[in-house]
Amino acid sequence: MDQSLREACGIVGVYNVPNAAEAIYLGLHALQHRGQESAGIVVCNGHTMHSRKGMGLLSRVFGPQDLAHLRGHTGVGHVRYSTTGASKPQNTQPLVLDYSAGLVAVAHNGNLINARALRRECEARGSIFQTSTDSEVIVHLMAQPDHADRPDSLAHCLRRHVRGAYALLVQRTDRIVAARDPQGFRPLSLGRLEGGYMVASETCAFDQAGAEFLREVEPGELVTVDETGLHSERFVPEREVRPAMCIFEFIYFARPDSVLLGESVHTVRKRLGVQLAREHPADADVVVAVPDSGNSAAIGYAQESGLPYDRGLIRNHYVGRTFLNPVPGERSRQARLKHNVVQDVVRGKRVVLVDDSLIRGTTLQSLVQFVRAAGATQVHLRISCPPNRYACYYGIDFPTREELIAAHRSREEIEALLSLDSLRYLSLEGLQAAAPGAGGFCTACFGGDYPVPPADLMEDKHRLEAHGAVTEETVAGT
Ligand code: SF4
């Protein structure tokens, strides 16, 4: 990944687990790659909810004493990267609200594409919003007088009103509810933990917390866990379920040790590399991954091509945020902070550099320079997905079309810009053939074929940003 695309969020929920806060913390720890701007946990003891939320990494928001204060056997947690709603304390999740039906906590991964219209409707009926996130409209819809008394108020609101991408956890004092939109854009899985249940964005959270994977929450499914057990229902008719899971979860977002659609993400990424080598072999001496995003695909490429795989680029994992002032013309300094070249591996060699995607191209431009300066005689770049030419509206922080290097440039122009001997992308057909399951993926950022039309979304986003929202940093439990 040459310039980080950022996943919007990771979510975790547990029901009937002795130390809910610790289990959620462990799960969120495994999901930290899905959001680093803020973190929060809400637990419930059957009567009251207690929460702690804050800005920054999980380890910054929670110390040992903080977890000890969060006593309860049920709860939900969230790590966030903002795609709608600014990065500020009042937008941290889980959101906690109290209305006529009682306390509710909500953790959401995804983007609602009709949030603007829904918010306007709710405000016209007297709702006062606490945040500028799209997620809050779900609670306000549930609290509307004509919905609040319905036992199926969440299912009703999702079916009738909410459009777009959501993997959702809703906690009440006596249950938790997990739901996934009819396209299933974002992943969500169910597991067993210590006699209770766990729900998480990715299965790596189960491994961290010691939970056993049961199955994925299906697109258009709503799962309720309460004292009578686990109950599943479809909240939309079967004909409206059109699976379109984000294929970028396999390419880049999900952790390689997670299992999606029955296969480890690492195995799928290796297969993308195998397919890439079949489509675009290179006359070269060594295969080098752009770490860590290109590791699995590079292994697959090397296996299929018969070329040796070696570690020619090393990534510094401890960079974090830097405070160097940007210097015009010195963009490579940022790349140099993160990456260095193992000169012995590339000197005098024709190098195949493998990465998962090419977004803006700025980091890869620097890396190619580093590899050439270290003595490589040729650099051939292989990308394990097609050219990204369109923005994402379903919960990924994508650059605008103007910023995408492939949106308005030919492959030859990019080769010249990045000083490459050759650049080749995996075909869309190859990507879909290598992905698991029977198809049904969103691939809109490659071809612009959006599964749910994103009309007015950007206007919606700007309006929410401009909306003044004021609350306390931490919503205390009662
Ligand atoms: Fe994923 Fe791309 Fe679809 Fe967004 S547009 S959900 S990044 S495949």
User: Which residue puts its alpha carbon closest to atom 4 of ligand 1?
Assistant: 392
DSSP string, 172-227: ETTEEEEEE-TT--S--EEEEETTEEEEESSTHHHHHHT-EEEEEPPTTEEEEEET
Give the confidence band of 200 by pLDDT, cuts at 50, 70, 90.
very high
177-192 mean pLDDT: 97
CB 1, CB 293: distance < 8 Å: yes
Distance 83 CA to ligand 1 centre (A): 13
Distance 7 CA to ligand 1 centre (A): 10
- Could you list the active site residues? 9
406-432 mean pLDDT: 97
Q: Are residues 174 and 271 in the same domain?
A: no
User: Which residue puts its alpha carbon closest to atom 1 of ligand 1?
Assistant: 246
**Which stretches within 216-361 are classed as H helix?**
248, 265-279, 295-305, 332-338, 343-346
Atom of ligand 1 nearest to the CA of 165: 6
408-428 mean pLDDT: 97
Q: Are residues 120 and 269 in the same domain?
A: no
User: Which residue puts its alpha carbon closest to atom 3 of ligand 1?
Assistant: 442
| Domain contains 251 | no
Q: Are residues 66 and 197 in the same domain?
A: yes
Percentage above 70 pLDDT, the chain: 89
Distance 425 CA to ligand 1 centre (A): 17
Contacts with 309 (C-beta within 8 Å, 6 or more apart), sequence order: 286, 287, 288, 289, 298, 299, 301, 302, 303
| Domain contains 165 | yes
Q: Is the pLDDT of residue 1 over 70?
A: no
Give the confidence band of 21 by pLDDT, cuts at 50, 70, 90.
very high
Whether this prediction's pTM lies above 0.95 is answered by no
Q: Is the pLDDT of residue 320 over 80?
A: no
Read off the pLDDT of residues 388-400 as tens digits, 9 standing for 90 and up: 999 998 988 777 8
Give the confidence band of 130 by pLDDT, cuts at 50, 70, 90.
confident
| Domain contains 427 | yes
Atom of ligand 1 nearest to the CA of 247: 8
Atom of ligand 1 nearest to the CA of 444: 5
DSSP string, 235-260: SS-GGG----EETHIIIIIS-TTSEE
User: Which residue puts its alpha carbon closest to atom 2 of ligand 1?
Assistant: 445
Q: Are residues 432 and 297 in the same domain?
A: yes
Q: Are residues 233 and 269 in the same domain?
A: no
Q: Are residues 269 and 229 in the same domain?
A: no
Q: Are residues 236 and 280 in the same domain?
A: no
Q: Which residues line ligand 1 (CB under 6 A)?
A: 185, 246-248, 392, 394, 396, 442-445
382-386 mean pLDDT: 98
Give the confidence band of 465 by pLDDT, cuts at 50, 70, 90.
very low
Percentage above 90 pLDDT, the chain: 69
| Domain contains 79 | yes
Q: Are residues 234 and 341 in the same domain?
A: no
C-alpha pair distances (Å), 169 with each of 157, 239, 380: 14, 24, 44
- Which of 76-90, 241-255, 450-464 has the lowest average pLDDT? 450-464
177-193 mean pLDDT: 97
Number of domains in the chain: 2
Give the confidence band of 338 by pLDDT, cuts at 50, 70, 90.
confident
Atom of ligand 1 nearest to the CA of 248: 1
To test the pocket of ligand 1, the residue of 111, 248, 401, 404 to mutate (highest count of ligand atoms within 8 Å of its CB) is: 248
State the CATH number of the domain containing residue 25: 3.60.20.10
Distance 444 CA to ligand 1 centre (A): 6
61-68 mean pLDDT: 91
Atom of ligand 1 nearest to the CA of 390: 5
To test the pocket of ligand 1, the residue of 247, 400, 457 to mutate (highest count of ligand atoms within 8 Å of its CB) is: 247
Distance 448 CA to ligand 1 centre (A): 10
Structure tokens at 446: 């490659």
Q: What pLDDT, on a 0 to 100 scale, did the predictor assign at position 329?
A: 54
Q: Are residues 354 and 288 in the same domain?
A: yes
Crossing angle of the two packed helices 136-143 and 153-160, in degrees rounded to 10: 120
Higher confidence at residue 200 or residue 132?
A: 200
428-433 mean pLDDT: 96
115-138 mean pLDDT: 88
Q: Are residues 172 and 132 in the same domain?
A: yes
**Enclosing domain of residue 336:** 264-441
Mean of the per-residue pLDDT values of the chain: 89
**Helix, strand, coil % in the chain, rounded to nearest 5:** 30, 25, 45
Atom of ligand 1 nearest to the CA of 391: 5
| Domain contains 197 | yes
To test the pocket of ligand 1, the residue of 166, 396, 404 to mutate (highest count of ligand atoms within 8 Å of its CB) is: 396
| Domain contains 190 | yes
Q: What residue has token string 């070269």?
A: 284
Phi first, then psi: give them for residue 370, nearest 5 degrees: -60, -45
Q: What pLDDT, on a 0 to 100 scale, did the predictor assign at position 31?
A: 97
Give the confidence band of 213 by pLDDT, cuts at 50, 70, 90.
very high
| Domain contains 160 | yes
State the CATH number of the domain containing residue 378: 3.40.50.2020
User: Which residue puts its alpha carbon closest to atom 6 of ligand 1?
Assistant: 246
Distance 10 CA to ligand 1 centre (A): 16
To test the pocket of ligand 1, the residue of 183, 246, 359 to mutate (highest count of ligand atoms within 8 Å of its CB) is: 246
Q: What pLDDT, on a 0 to 100 scale, did the predictor assign at position 3?
A: 53
Distance 405 CA to ligand 1 centre (A): 17
Distance 389 CA to ligand 1 centre (A): 11
Reference 423, options 339, 356, 352; nearest CA is 352
Q: What residue has token string 């290097």?
A: 405
Q: Are residues 432 and 399 in the same domain?
A: yes
Q: Are residues 51 and 107 in the same domain?
A: yes
| Domain contains 253 | no
